[in-house]
Amino acid sequence: MIQFALVSEEISLPLALTMGEPAGISGEISLKAWLQRDVLETTFFLIDDPNRLAKLSHSLGLDVPIKTIDIPSQATNVFHLGLPVLPLDNSVRSNLGIPSVDTAGTVIESIEKAVRLTQSGDAAGVVTNPIQKEVLYDAGFAHPGHTEYLAELAGLKFSPIMMLAGEHLRVIPVTIHISLRQALEQLKTSEIIHATQVTYQALKNEFGISQPRIAVAALNPHAGEGGTMGNEEKTIIQPAITSLLNQGIEVLGPLPPDTLFSPQQRQTYDAAICMYHDQALIPIKALEFDQAVNVTLGLPFVRTSPDHGTALDIANLGKANPSSLISSINLAAKMAAQRKNC
Amino acid sequence: MIQFALVSEEISLPLALTMGEPAGISGEISLKAWLQRDVLETTFFLIDDPNRLAKLSHSLGLDVPIKTIDIPSQATNVFHLGLPVLPLDNSVRSNLGIPSVDTAGTVIESIEKAVRLTQSGDAAGVVTNPIQKEVLYDAGFAHPGHTEYLAELAGLKFSPIMMLAGEHLRVIPVTIHISLRQALEQLKTSEIIHATQVTYQALKNEFGISQPRIAVAALNPHAGEGGTMGNEEKTIIQPAITSLLNQGIEVLGPLPPDTLFSPQQRQTYDAAICMYHDQALIPIKALEFDQAVNVTLGLPFVRTSPDHGTALDIANLGKANPSSLISSINLAAKMAAQRKNC
């Protein structure tokens, strides 16, 4: 049984799932997510090639009927019968494990359609399967990644913010895919303020937390211990906290990073703003057994994504784990329902 | 019942516990550790002022008889009757929460005695209660910390190595109490090699792991992703790994830091060598509910310590948690028994 009740009294709009890199595990985990539909809190449709998925389902020995649909609203009606697929303009020919520039156009088409259908009110939100960026670059894709592309499609002027959300913890890295040395050089008060503001609004509007409590991590061990182990706490982070408090945003910090993620301290905040990639990613991956979700905050629509890559190395083994995709679907459903209520 | 069987067939030597900072929680957690003697795997004695402890026990409402002993071997015989205390030369007058330079001499005397009695074969190992370094500095103490002082007492020529050990994870930070910026500047191939060698020997000789598997963390996100996010993996870490492999030490790395501490990956190694303080401390404090132990590797005797400070702020509240001290006692007992068997 689909547990609609948790999301909304009325039948919800389906979510739009993108194809992702067809040479990776996206197809497999999407099929497996449908098989686990009793733990899903909404329906979804995949924007993909129905024939490709039927073959994939057969070759993996999965019992997943493929239901080709013409418009998103059909997804909810047929969802109990099979995986609803909204076809791409062209068929997708791909070899598992071997990404090709030939399919790059269809990967992008799937993302564009998902965004368009969400913006037009036909889908509740976008759940993106992982892509292989290098292949898209070779095909002329000019965005650093998925998120920046979505921001452009949405016409955003500022950068969206990445949150990783799990059952035990929500973290937001202020600097992301740069070296640790660059993270130290590029850490800015303004970016900490921006990330915290966007997080605060999202916690209110999409997570339903009326008075969000946000922890801001320090950069140095023991939060610099009064300046004896680094002064970025004083020069960069504290000014951000002062500004945020003046805006009425309840923030605590800069807090010593090592104790911030202990079981006791995790009870004291709703999200932690982190200064660099691994400060955020180490604790969430240590604590969340494959179930963390990548959430993009600050877009005009809901977007979640599994917290893993295309996993080309296991793409033809049939052992991909759909847990993070399932968590992504369920979180997107909750966020979309919450957003609608605001 | 004391579970001697887990440690040794014969009656083990008791461990020597130091007093630590008398204004902090050391006395309280030592009393509470004795109260939980049914989970201890050995006996111990505290090197402290028996009158001070009797008063403390009374004021905290704890039912802990204090048994003054003359020599360590008496500890095992009286342990079931009360907490064995080997007196310091002078009485200790201290106010909880307010450390004073007046007691610094006794703090140091307790450490020295514990080391001497362990080196003479009268105690199985040293478990140090937390100290307040600033107070010792004011009294002329010239060592950066506990560990360096112990190294000098032991006549060591090279630095000992800090391991944090818990039920789920063992981590060894190569750089420790310096800013993140300094950690980047000071990270050296030779230090990674030294830390790994010392860890390897300790895993064999003190943890009883015949073929230790050691993971070496990368420094940058995704291990630098082929040099696009930092090159310390190539210039500093990989040369250490190559050298260690040539020495016959089984090391894996440099491994992406974010996934290194996931439940799956933790199964693949016995200890993780980490490049900076929080890379090691964040995951262990996230995973170990107050039970991580600070272990000093590379000393000629066993030394463990609780993974927390003096907690001056709660020193007179009676709510200090003895879990980490109890884990420190039990781990020291196991390590001492293992070392004896080598």
pLDDT value at residue B188: 98
DSSP secondary structure of A242-272: HHHHHTT--EEEEEPHHHHTSHHHHTT-SEE
With beta carbons under 8 A apart, name residues in chain B contacting A279. Answer: 278, 282
Q: Which one of B278, B281, B287, B289 would you mutate to disrupt binding with A, by most A Cβ within 10 Å of its Cβ?
A: B278
Cross-chain residue pair A229–B178, CB shorter than 8 Å: yes
Cross-chain residue pair B176–A261, CB shorter than 8 Å: no
pLDDT value at residue A81: 97
Phi, psi values for residue A179, rounded to 5°: -65, 160
pLDDT value at residue B8: 45
As a whole number of angstroms, the distance between CA A210 and CA B185 comes to 44
Is residue B243 a contact partner of residue B193, using CB atoms and an 8 Å limit? yes
pLDDT value at residue A158: 83
With beta carbons under 8 A apart, name residues in chain A contacting B286. Answer: 261-263, 282-283, 286-287
With beta carbons under 8 A apart, name residues in chain A contacting B178. Answer: 221, 229
Can you tell me the ipTM of this complex? 0.91
The fraction of chain A above a pLDDT of 70, given in percent, is 96
Give the helix/strand (H/E) hosting A172: strand A170-173
Q: Is the dihedral of CA B115, B119, B120, B124 positive or negative?
A: positive
Residues 100-119 on A with a CB inside 8 Å of B are none
Token digits for A124? 């509740």
Phi, psi values for residue A100, rounded to 5°: -135, 145
Residues of chain B with pLDDT under 50: 1-9
> Could you tell me if B219 lies within 8 Å of chain A, comparing CB atoms?
yes
Is residue B273 a contact partner of residue B213, using CB atoms and an 8 Å limit? no
How far is residue B17 from each of residues A212, B47, B93, B99, measured CA to CA in Å? 44, 6, 19, 20
How far is residue A213 from each of residues A101, A244, B34, B101, B269, measured CA to CA in Å? 45, 12, 39, 40, 37
Classify B292 as helix, strand or coil.
Answer: coil
Cross-chain residue pair B180–A285, CB shorter than 8 Å: no
Residues 11-50 on A with a CB inside 8 Å of B are none
Q: Residue B279: which of A182, A229, A278 has the nearest Cβ?
A: A278
With beta carbons under 8 A apart, name residues in chain B contacting A219. Answer: 180
As a whole number of angstroms, the distance between CA B225 and CA A182 comes to 14
Q: What is the pLDDT of residues A182-205, one digit of tens each?
A: 999 999 999 999 999 999 999 999
Q: Count of CB contacts below 8 A, A vs B?
A: 105
Number of Cβ within a 10 Å radius of residue A2: 18
Q: Which one of B162, B179, B182, B225 would you mutate to disrupt binding with A, by most A Cβ within 10 Å of its Cβ?
A: B179
Residues of chain A with pLDDT under 70: 1-11
A77-82, Cβ contacts within 8 angstroms, sequence gap of 24 or more: A79/A2, A79/A14, A79/A37, A79/A43, A79/A44, A80/A2, A80/A37, A82/A34
Q: Is A215 left (phi over 0), alpha (psi -120 to 50) or beta?
A: beta
Among chain B residues, the shortest Cα distance to A308 is held by: B259
Number of Cβ within a 10 Å radius of residue A25: 31
Cross-chain residue pair B278–A285, CB shorter than 8 Å: no
Classify B295 as helix, strand or coil.
Answer: strand
> Could you tell me if B144 lies within 8 Å of chain A, comparing CB atoms?
no
Alpha helices, H only, chain B: 26-35, 50-59, 74-78, 104-119, 133-138, 146-153, 180-186, 189-205, 232, 238-246, 257-260, 263-266, 277-287, 323-341
pLDDT value at residue A11: 58
Name the DSSP letter for residue B98: B
Is residue B126 a contact partner of residue B72, using CB atoms and an 8 Å limit? no
With beta carbons under 8 A apart, name residues in chain B contacting A184. Answer: 180-181, 184
Q: Are strands A293-297 and A161-165 parallel, antiparallel or unpaired?
A: antiparallel
